[in-house]
């Protein structure tokens, strides 16, 4: 699920803290913003296959 809250993509260079907004540009430096939500899963997850299989088995 995509989050509506966005963070300034250049906050490490332009600000001393993350700047959050709902818009497509940063209100302080006019830089582009990016989705602030983390990825729903890690493709490198070593146990992801087993966790998903267990979840499927629970639905049956």
pLDDT, tens only, 13-23: 999 999 999 99
Distance, in Å, from the CA atom of 53 to the CA atom of 47, rounded to the nearest integer, reads: 10
Q: Where are the alpha helices (DSSP H) in the chain?
A: 11-14, 48-59
Residue listed under structure tokens 């997850």: 45
pLDDT at 48 exceeding the cut of 70: yes
Regarding predicted confidence, which is higher, 45 or 25? Answer: 25
Average predicted confidence (pLDDT) for the chain: 87
Query: How much is the pLDDT for 55?
Result: 87
Distance, in Å, from the CA atom of 16 to the CA atom of 40, rounded to the nearest integer, reads: 27
Count of other CB atoms within 10 angstroms of residue 28: 12
Query: How much is the pLDDT for 29?
Result: 94
Q: Read off the pTM.
A: 0.58
Residue 2 pLDDT class (50, 70, 90 cuts): low
Residue listed under structure tokens 């966005």: 6
């Amino acid at each position: 699920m995509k989050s509506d809250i966005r963070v300034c993509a250049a906050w490490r260079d332009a600000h001393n803290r993350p700047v959050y907004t709902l818009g497509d540009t940063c209100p302080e430096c006019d830089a582009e913003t990016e989705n602030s939500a983390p990825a729903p899963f890690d493709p490198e997850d070593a146990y992801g296959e087993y966790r998903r299989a267990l979840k499927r088995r629970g639905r049956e």
